[in-house]
């Protein structure tokens, strides 16, 4: 089952790699606290995770892991897969009378044979000699998320099918027995209702007896795992995913088997305490608070920039141009009034002959979307190739800024010269721009000009009339739109 490959590196041995880990294989297990809380994107959670000390444990992959994720489709889950692990221990597990767990609810693993009623399970390869008295306890299991990867399984020690089946049957038997003992204890401790004083609360003995099915020191076994739903705060929160662990087939690297109860304590700490439950909720609260603060600040900036309150509704994205919305008639601004006067002055001199040697400049108003800020219009100038036109020899005092000087001074006495020199090209361009300015009713903040050069200066080639600035005609992106686009 191997194929030749090119390269010959130490890691690329030409062996075929399979999905990792394989079922019924023994692996080393080490929690990755930092990776487990990375999805929170919270500095405090990461700092707390860095302080967690995790040991290396050994177990075999028993089954797929299952946890209630409410059916959410999360891209982060595509990188991980949950598995259930049966943990390997050295020595018999401790009995727990309160939880109705006997120390013999386990199976020995060869070369260990010490058990009063059960035969040992035999792995595919001998376990390391330094491991003494190995057992698989029925109530020491964990569900963990593992990064999806592939690996060569030549080093893997597996649990043969018959051995895995025998162990699975033993686990089911022990769990059934534990439930029977728990139910019998609960029934025998029931107190008749007549014995309760009126208004007296339930006895603590009932609580202890009823809690036998969910003791606190294991987080994986259905009968010993603490119920997440029993935490009032978690009933209203999203279920916490299992921690992430790093695995390896190299079990020979482990010199001493760590106590599986320590792993269950680590999982419990990360899940129920600050690292993986409390910090999960706190991080979500802090994130919502930061988002609300960012929205408030963006609204303040937008109000100061546009002079009107921002709206939480983003600009609708439409595939076709929508008609201009009717708005209350307002007095035109001084800029629009000036453009109208200029247009009236230039209109008689526009030459629209189809035989012109110079293509008239077209000013096209395109409106891709409508928003609460007003109509957004992109002014696109499609200019023909530069043609040699008669140039006016204007005096310096007759060449003022078109924005700064009234049209009577700029165009008054010399308007006949413009016609005589056939500068209809620039006249048509002026009229086209004035038409657009008048169409948008002076809303300078919603008009933008698309051109290669800077908006600081706009020139007509023949008249050499300068627009002082187009800064008032360009629309900055709303800060609130930026905040919403990131969500």
Average pLDDT, integer, range 22-29: 92
Structure tokens at 182: 């728990």
Burial (0-12, 13-18, 19+ Cβ within 10 Å), 346: buried
- Angle at CA 248, nearest 5°, toward 136 and 280? 85
Residues 343 and 434 sit within 8 Å (Cβ to Cβ): yes
> 308 or 155: which carries more pLDDT confidence?
155
Confidence tier at 95 by pLDDT (50, 70, 90): confident
- What pLDDT is stored for residue 344 in this prediction? 72
Q: How far is CA 367 from CA 106, 183, 228, 322, 440, in A?
A: 74, 73, 54, 8, 11
Domain ranges in the chain are 18-191+200-278, 334-482
Structure tokens at 199: 């208004």
Give the chain's length. 487
Average pLDDT, integer, range 24-40: 88
Q: Which of 131-135, 196-200, 472-476, 479-483 has the lowest mean pLDDT?
A: 472-476
User: Which letter, b or e, does each residue of 186-198 get, where b requires 16 or more Cβ atoms within 10 Å of its Cβ?
Assistant: beeeeeeeeeeee
Q: Is a pLDDT exceeding 90 seen at residue 405?
A: no
Structure tokens at 72: 């959410």
CA 295, CA 301: separation in Å to the nearest integer?
A: 10
- What pLDDT is stored for residue 351 in this prediction? 46
Q: Which residues have C-beta within 8 Å of that of residue 383, sequence separation ≥ 6?
A: 361
Q: Is a pLDDT exceeding 50 seen at residue 364?
A: no
Q: Which of 22-36, 225-239, 448-462 has the lowest mean pLDDT?
A: 448-462
Average pLDDT, integer, range 109-113: 89
pLDDT tens profile 191-248: 555 555 544 444 444 444 433 433 333 344 433 433 333 334 434 445 677 889 999 9
- What pLDDT is stored for residue 36 in this prediction? 84
Residues 284-291: contacts with CB under 8 Å, at least 24 apart: 284/40, 286/42, 287/41, 287/42, 291/483, 291/487
Say if strands 377-382 and 447-450 run parallel, antiparallel, or are unpaired.
parallel
Structure tokens at 455: 């908006």
Taking every pair of C-alpha atoms in the chain, what is the biggest distance, in angstroms?
A: 119
Average pLDDT, integer, range 144-153: 88
* Helix (H), strand (E) at residue 427: helix 424-439
- What pLDDT is stored for residue 285 in this prediction? 73
Average pLDDT, integer, range 385-410: 38
Residues 121 and 109 sit within 8 Å (Cβ to Cβ): yes
Q: Quick check: helix, strand or coil at residue 375?
A: strand
- What pLDDT is stored for residue 172 in this prediction? 92
pLDDT tens profile 286-343: 777 888 888 888 888 877 777 665 555 555 555 555 554 544 555 666 666 777 777 7
pTM (two decimals) = 0.47
- What pLDDT is stored for residue 435 in this prediction? 60
Confidence tier at 144 by pLDDT (50, 70, 90): very high
Residues 463 and 392 sit within 8 Å (Cβ to Cβ): yes
Q: Is a pLDDT exceeding 60 seen at residue 422?
A: no
What sign does the dihedral 215-221-227-228 (CA atoms) show?
Answer: positive
Q: Quick check: helix, strand or coil at residue 480?
A: helix
Q: Quick check: helix, strand or coil at residue 109?
A: strand
List the one residue out of 289, 301, 290, 307 whose CA is nearest residue 480.
301
Mean pLDDT of the chain: 64
- What pLDDT is stored for residue 156 in this prediction? 87
Q: Where does 371-423 have alpha helices with state H?
A: 407-411, 415-420
Q: Which residues have C-beta within 8 Å of that of residue 287, sequence separation ≥ 6?
A: 41, 42
- What pLDDT is stored for residue 397 in this prediction? 40
Q: Which residues have C-beta within 8 Å of that of residue 114, sequence separation ≥ 6?
A: 108, 133
- What pLDDT is stored for residue 336 in this prediction? 67
Burial (0-12, 13-18, 19+ Cβ within 10 Å), 280: buried
Beta bridge partners of 26: 60, 157
User: Which letter, b or e, does each residue of 402-422 get, where b requires 16 or more Cβ atoms within 10 Å of its Cβ?
Assistant: beeeebeebbeeebeebeeeb
CA 463, CA 471: separation in Å to the nearest integer?
A: 22
């Amino acid at each position: 089952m191997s194929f030749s490959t090119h390269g010959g590196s130490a890691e690329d041995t030409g062996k075929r790699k399979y999905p990792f880990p394989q079922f019924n294989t023994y692996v080393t297990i080490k929690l990755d606290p930092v990776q487990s809380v990375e999805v929170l994107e919270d500095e405090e959670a990461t700092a707390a995770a860095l302080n967690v000390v995790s040991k290396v444990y050994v177990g075999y992959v028993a089954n797929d892991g299952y946890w209630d994720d409410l059916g959410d489709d999360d891209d982060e889950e595509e990188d991980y897969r949950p598995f259930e692990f049966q943990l390997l221990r050295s020595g018999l597990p401790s009995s727990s009378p309160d939880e109705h767990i006997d120390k013999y609810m386990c199976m020995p693993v060869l070369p260990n044979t010490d058990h009063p009623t059960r035969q040992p399970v035999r792995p595919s390869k001998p376990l390391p000699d330094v491991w003494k008295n190995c057992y698989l306890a029925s109530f020491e299991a964990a569900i963990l998320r593992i990064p999806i990867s592939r690996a060569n399984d030549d080093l893997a020690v597996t649990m043969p099918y018959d051995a895995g089946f025998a162990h699975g049957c033993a686990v089911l038997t022990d769990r059934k027995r534990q439930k029977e003992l728990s139910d019998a204890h609960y029934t025998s401790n029931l107190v008749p209702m007549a014995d309760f004083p009126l208004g007296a609360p339930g006895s603590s003995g009932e609580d202890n007896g009823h809690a036998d099915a969910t003791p606190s020191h294991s987080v994986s076994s259905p009968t010993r795992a603490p119920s997440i739903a029993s935490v009032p705060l978690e009933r209203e929160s999203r279920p916490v995913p299992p921690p992430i662990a790093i695995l390896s087939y190299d079990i020979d690297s482990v010199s001493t088997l760590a106590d599986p109860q320590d792993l269950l304590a680590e999982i419990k700490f990360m899940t129920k305490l600050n690292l993986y439950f409390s910090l999960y909720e706190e991080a979500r609260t802090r994130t919502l608070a930061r988002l609300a603060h960012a929205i408030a600040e963006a609204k303040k900036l937008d109000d100061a920039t546009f002079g009107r309150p921002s709206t939480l509704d983003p600009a609708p994205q439409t595939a076709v141009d929508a008609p201009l919305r009717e708005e209350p008639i307002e007095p035109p601004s001084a800029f629009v009034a000036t453009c109208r006067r200029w247009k009236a002055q230039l209109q008689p001199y526009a030459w629209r002959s189809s035989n012109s040697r110079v293509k008239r400049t077209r000013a096209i108003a395109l409106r891709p979307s409508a928003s609460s800020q007003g109509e957004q219009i992109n002014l696109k100038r499609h200019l023909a190739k530069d043609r040699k036109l008669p140039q006016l020899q204007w005096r310096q005092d007759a060449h003022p800024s078109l924005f700064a000087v009234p049209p009577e001074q700029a165009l008054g006495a010399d308007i006949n010269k413009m016609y005589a020199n056939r500068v209809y090209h620039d006249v048509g361009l002026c009229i086209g721009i004035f038409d657009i300015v008048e169409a948008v009713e002076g809303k300078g903040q919603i008009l933008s000009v698309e051109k290669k050069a800077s908006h600081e200066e706009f020139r007509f080639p023949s008249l050499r009339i300068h627009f002082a600035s187009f800064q008032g005609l360009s629309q900055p992106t709303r800060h609130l739109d930026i905040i919403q686009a990131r969500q």
